[in-house]
Structure 1
Amino acid sequence: MRITQTPTAGSSSRTRRIAVINSNSSDRVTQQLADTVTPELLSGTEAVFLNPAEGPEGIDTLFDVIVSGAHTAALVREYSHDFDAFVVACGNDPGLAAARELTDRPVIGIAEAGMLQACAQGATFSVAVLAPAKVAGMRALIRSYGLESRLASIIPARTTSRDAATSPGELLDQLTDACRSRSSDELGDVLVLTGSVMGQIAHALSTRINRPVVAGILAGVRMAETLADATTRPTYPSKEEA
């Protein structure tokens, strides 16, 4: 599936093109991502939302991560010169390292982006995941990014990728209860929602738990926009030419 969000009106003289890749094969999730992200795009951004035609429709196991990672990296390779930046829109950042080998454009994982934004907002952060079985994998991912010393806790809901996509209200209630059962120290200064489908509940959850909540999908898109500008900035004349 491919969804194109046309540039919003504004003063930008140049369109930045970013690809947001839903790592699972669900067209429904890709549409949800487009609905969540589109209102937040900067003026002058054209976002194209993609998902692989094959692979798991939800990413709930390590096998799902491996398979979806390969498909994600393959999409980056296919479109390696068509976009200014890429966003891997899955809370496990599947295929991120491989994708970065396949293009000279920035590739952003939404889990990593969400955590980095949280580090700028507080001394410690907690991370929400969809199920207890995802805790170990998320801890390993956080460790691989060198951020374990900033981690307060990992807070699991009790759902699946498919159920979270179809019942966001239930996910919101589960995470609200899970967060309220934790101490302030366990929650940390900021809560990070790494999962792409979690982005639509970030504001409501922040209100319920009275704490900043970072949606990884929105953090990743904003980082992609920023890096797209940084890596395509105009070439200025040398001192000799000035």
Structure 2
Amino acid sequence: MKILLLNPNTTADVTGLLAAAGARAASPGTELVPMTAKRGVPYIATRAEAQIGGAIALEMLAEAGSTFDAAIIAAFGDPGLFGARELFSFPVVGLAEAAMLTACMVGRKFAIVTFSRTLAPWYQECVAMHGLETRCAGIRALDEAFQSISDVQSEKEEVLVRLANTAVEQDAADVVILSGAPLAGLADKVKDRIPVPVIDPVAAAVRQAETLAVLKPRKAIAGTFRRPGPKPTTGLAEPLAAVIEHREQGGR
């Protein structure tokens, strides 16, 4: 099985964190192929950056073609996820959706804990996008600066653990999701210091992607995720233009 691990941010070190955490969760025989955005922002933290990252994610998926059994958009908030499900026939999984649905299997309400308060509004909208508002106990975010996006999980580990415990104690969270691609792998390090299950989004996404790859769901030809008809484009990256114009079979 071959799964594309697509980071729509430009920080290669974060892609490395994602790949390492994903590899620990992957089944024997699963190959994770990491891919980092060539343009964009170091990490997505706002609605505007999410719009940019979503478009870049679609370009990256089109560039990768149909050589994968599944793909993961490895940015919590799932930029471009629904558009990807329209355009491509292989399963596409988002970090946020995979983490939240996994959390719903082990508890009634989950809390999202992240590394920057600027992320909170976008994450709240992501929860609503997936129809999970009633299952979310709340979002807790750091309200202090950090030195490096690549090292934020080690730099702020103690504070993040305290926030997670506060979510359990004050928000009645049954599950904690440590969210944001730069926190990949942190859940496994701190799970024994938090009294409820702790979900690592990339681990959840890898397992969900494997499951969908095995199930091989058909591409919708009706409903809201059917592939749109061909349309002319101007100025788009060639692989994405080809997909939108139906000029090639990759991704169908």
Give the TM bin, normalised by the shorter chain: 0.7 to 0.9
What is aligned with 1:65?
Answer: 50
CA RMSD of aligned residues (A): 2.0
- 1:130 aligned to which of 109, 115, 132: 115
Deviation of 1:112 after TM superposition, in Å, equals 0.4
Distance 1:159 1:67 in 2: 25
What is aligned with 1:155?
Answer: 140
- 1:94 aligned to which of 74, 79, 82: 79
* Consecutive unaligned residues in structure 2, runs of 5 or more: 219-252
Please say if residues 10 and 37 of structure 2, whose CA atoms lie closer than 8 Å, have aligned partners that are also in contact.
Answer: yes
Residues 52-72 of structure 1 show CA distances to partners (whole Å, capped at 9, x for unaligned) of: 211111112222211111111
Aligned residues: 218
Q: Report the TM-score, using the length of structure 2 for normalisation.
A: 0.80
Identity %: 31
Please say if residues 164 and 171 of structure 1, whose CA atoms lie closer than 8 Å, have aligned partners that are also in contact.
Answer: no
What is aligned with 2:12?
Answer: 27
Q: Report the TM-score, using the length of structure 1 for normalisation.
A: 0.83
What is aligned with 1:83?
Answer: 68
Residues 141-185 of structure 1 show CA distances to partners (whole Å, capped at 9, x for unaligned) of: 101111101111111123679734223222321212223334535
Matched, 1:181 2:166: yes
* Equivalent AA in structure 1 for residue 116 of structure 2: A
Please say if residues 3 and 72 of structure 2, whose CA atoms lie closer than 8 Å, have aligned partners that are also in contact.
Answer: yes
Residues 20-71 of structure 1 show CA distances to partners (whole Å, capped at 9, x for unaligned) of: 0011011111122222222221012111000121111111222221111111
Deviation of 1:204 after TM superposition, in Å, equals 2.7
Distance 1:232 1:181, change over 3 A: closer
Q: How does 1:105-116 map to 2 (within 5 A)?
A: 105-116=90-101
Distance 1:183 1:22, change over 3 A: closer
- Helix, strand or coil for the counterpart of 1:181? helix
Distance 1:99 1:156, change over 3 A: same
Matched, 1:41 2:20: no
* Consecutive unaligned residues in structure 1, runs of 5 or more: 1-15, 234-242
Distance 2:43 2:144 in 1: 11
Where do 4+ consecutive residues of structure 1 move more than 4 Å? 159-162
